[in-house]
Chain A
Amino acid sequence: MTMSEATAAAEGGSAVGVQVAAENPPVDGAAEDAVIGKWAEDTQEALVIAPDKLTAYLTYLRDRQGYDFLSSVTCVDYSAYGGKLRDGVDERFELVYHLYSTRKGGGPVVLHVRVPENETVASATGIYPGANLQECEVYDLYGIKFEGHPNLRRVLLWDGFNGHPMRKDWKEAYHEADTKPFRSRHPQGDYQWHEDKIPWGKNTTYPTGWDPDSWRAPITYVPVSQAPEDAYSDEFETESIVVNLGPHHPSTHGVFRMLTRIKGETILALEPEMGYLHRNHEKIGERNTWLMNMPFTDRLDYINSMSNNLGYALAVEKLAGIEVPERAQYIRVIMAELTRVVNHTWSIGFILNDLGALQTPALYAIEEREMILDLFEEVSGARLMCNYMRFGGVVRDLTEGWEDRARYLANERLPRALDELDRLLSDNEIVKARGRGVGYLSAKDLLSLSVSGPMIRAAGVPYDIRKAEPYCIYDRFDFDIPTLPEGDIYARYYIRLLEARESVKILQQALRDIPKGEVLGGKGGYTLRPPEGEAYQRIEAPKGELGFYVVSDAKPNPYRYHVRSPSYINLNALGPMCVGYKVADAVVILGAIDIVLGEVDR
């Protein structure tokens, strides 16, 4: 199968969208009908859309308004909402869509769709195929069914799981209280040892009629989504077979499974299976107080804890209106860019690992990472789980001499190391042979699949949130958005090198200009109660668009805490990218997406 066929397969989804558009001509008048109200005007305004007009409105936004990027789809269960804003609204659930325009840049259009319990909603996958995994997640965690979704399934939990855990009335086993701090452990609490509670304790529920003895895991490997029976004619009589790559496989970057249907060595269809590391991060996040979530964000993408901290801090600051002092702004940028260098060198090393160049390039690539982690440790106390940012700044000032060391890195060591990596790998004939033309997907397809970050820039889309919707103080620095036109593995490798160079440029400027002063302002301590409302803040994390969607009902705990994780959503493109290539290529294609399972599974 050729590349164009692969693209055609990926475009199969959007054909549905065209159909919908034809049925409901996207005239502006009809679109206005769709908007039936506003929501959260004080914090981040959202439009309330009539459920039956959703697809028409999405089509209108995509085709007439240029909102080509469906960033986030999520849901809120308002059944326990303590705020005042929602008086008079009966529907229990609200689906929340965030759409952006990669051409115009700027802020999002936020859509809310109110859904009563047990109702279905039209799937957005026809218009934005990238809604695929996110709608699966909403179905899995909230139990909302999407009509017209090609493959609605439980993605994060196992098939027999009882209930939908993100619903407010779902309590996990050994549930202690809805919110922290727990009463039972303080001060005279009956502290219970976890060992006493396991395995079967109170509040564990099973599906009706479930019998642990007779239960067998359902056989899930039969259909690999819409696998074509026979993708190409050939001279041999062969049958296609289903092969599992993973979950425990050295090439899957963690506990992750690629369900493939192959014929010979060629992949006919591929589906990502995840959730092995799922810990319901968002449910934990809703029980925590606002501040408590900070160290938990470290554990999402554990290679880039500094950027995760930053994204979450920015979201809460946006919601609560907290100012950040000048010096802290600079420190944040420095940390975020150091993290990007760490991530990109790491991912370059591991793309090479997946290509079969075991360890040498990887270890060369992460040499400087060691120095950067030492710097992190010196200021924050930990190399990986930094927990360094706070609402209103960063927790501690830099140590003495830190800036000089960072300057040495930014001005001498990192540029040299990146050049060396370039010399070591970029002209390598094997890297080129394995990377050129492999895993191709066009820019249009990538965007429609909601892919973000280096992946789209390697396909020629100059879209970077630091420029398109600047946050922190990125508008003060002089840097470029490198793009490459090819959209293949090699470009995805090389774009990361180029981006790391740009990060070094930002680092040099930030370390030159950093002022003295306060590093933590505002009242963002553990008693924080943001005003009622919601906010979505995204940052250009090294792996793509990392977004935090937070809803407050003016209580000490977030009412809703959602992570739009780039690793998870970029996996939308894994299947379409792999079709037609060899099994060995699939390994590299996955590597070049650059996922971290802590963030995929959450």
Chain B
Amino acid sequence: MFGTGLLKGLGVTMKHFAETFIDDRKPMPSRYADSIQLEHGRRIIDQPITQEGLLTIQYPEEKRLLPERFRYIPMLLWDTEKGEDRCTACGICAKVCPPQCIWIVRDSDENGKPVTRPAEFFIDAAVCMSCSFCVEFCPFDAIKMNHDYELAVYDRYPQLVYDKEELTVPLEYYAAMWPEQFAAEQEALRKAEEEERAKAEAKAKAAEAKAKAGKSADKPKRTPEEIEAMKQKAAARSAAAKEKAAGGADASDKASSDTGDDAAKKARLEELKRKAAERAKQRKQSEG
């Protein structure tokens, strides 16, 4: 009979409608069951694979809980324990980067001798294709993928060309975002260090016998004050990250624009603008 197919189809839509409607009338609709409540009715939703009915997430009020492996733009790790960048400016990440959007300048000591530390580290986030090759091939676990995806700005340049300061995050931040991988890495690192230490001890004993004098350690280019300032900055960042984590969002998610570091953001923007102006000026001078 003509129309039976239509009716059958409408039955399917009706069923959907009824189920969703009933579910929606409950004090806690099932799609919010496992979600994390934030202030102002915002939510982080962890949608189970068994979720039925309405699947739509009302971004930006509601956001998805991101899996650990989520990748967006890379970040550089600041080893808070050792108080140094993990990056050694080896340049492998810049080599493997498919769109070639990483630019590194190696630092040098006062004699002009290059040292294993980046002086500058840029990633053009407008070009980065979030492929994560830099992370895969970095031999020092110095670069990792950030989960922060809300990066919209008014101008591509210079806001989207991230410099070292903007890219650097403390280790704790990474540990909170990538807990499983971090644990695995720490484990591997600990083992490697133990071996290293055992070796070094054996060596040291041998060296002691020789009783050598006069060692030359690389002096860091930064003054102690500078290092202190960087530490503080990193600590502030990690505190902010922790706060966010404690503020309800799960540790594996970080939504930087959520909570009130507006002032910090503004400052960052101002700083960027100033830098942009400076750069433009320099360029003009060098051209003109």
Contact = CB atoms under 8 A, between A and B. Distances in A.
B285 to A, nearest CB: 14
Q: Name, among B9, B51, B103, the residue most crowded by chain A CB atoms within 10 Å (CB to CB).
A: B9
Contacts of A189: 103
B137 A526 contact: yes
A399 interface: yes
B276 to A, nearest CB: 10
A463 B266 CA distance: 60
B49 interface: yes
Given A187-B106, A423-B8, A425-B9, A381 B69 contact: yes
Given A378-B69, A427-B5, A429-B5, A186 B94 contact: yes
A516 to B, nearest CB: 18
A399 B16 CA distance: 32
Given A378-B69, A381-B69, A385-B130, A185 B9 contact: no
Contacts of A472: none
B177 interface: no
B96 to A, nearest CB: 5
A429 B3 CA distance: 7
Contact of B5 (A196, A396, A428): A428
Nearest to B71: A381
A180 B12 contact: no
Given A379-B69, A526-B137, A187 B96 contact: no
A187 B100 contact: no
B69 A193 contact: no
B263 interface: no
Contacts, number: 126
A186 B8 contact: no
A420 B13 CA distance: 10
Contacts of B95: 181, 186, 526
A426 B100 CA distance: 49
Interface residues of B, number: 48
B6 A186 contact: no
Interface in B161-216: 161
B277 to A, nearest CB: 14
A425 B8 CA distance: 9
A400 B97 CA distance: 29
A370 B51 CA distance: 11
Interface string A387-408: 1000000011001000001001
B133 A295 contact: yes
A118 interface: no
A546 interface: no
Given A185-B94, A186-B91, A427-B4, A195 B105 contact: no
A396 to B, nearest CB: 7
A385 B50 CA distance: 24
Nearest to B15: A420
A338 interface: no
Contacts of A36: none
A428 B132 contact: no
A201 to B, nearest CB: 14
A380 B13 CA distance: 34
A180 B156 CA distance: 24
Contacts of A367: 55
A178 B284 CA distance: 29
Interface string A184-225: 011111010111100000000000000000000000000000
Given A182-B100, A370-B55, A424-B13, A382 B130 contact: yes
Contact of B69 (A195, A371, A380, A430): A380
B181 to A, nearest CB: 10
B70 A377 contact: yes
Contacts of A195: 156-157
Interface of A: 180-182, 185-189, 191, 193-196, 288-289, 291-296, 360, 364, 367, 370-371, 374-375, 377-382, 385, 387, 395-396, 399, 405, 408-409, 413, 420, 423-432, 525-526
Given A186-B102, A379-B69, A381-B70, 13 more contacts: A181-B100, A185-B94, A185-B100, A185-B103, A187-B91, A189-B103, A194-B127, A195-B157, A296-B129, A423-B9, A425-B9, A427-B9, A428-B5
Q: Which 8 A-B pairs have the closest CB atoms?
A: A427-B5, A295-B131, A292-B98, A381-B71, A381-B69, A181-B95, A424-B12, A378-B67
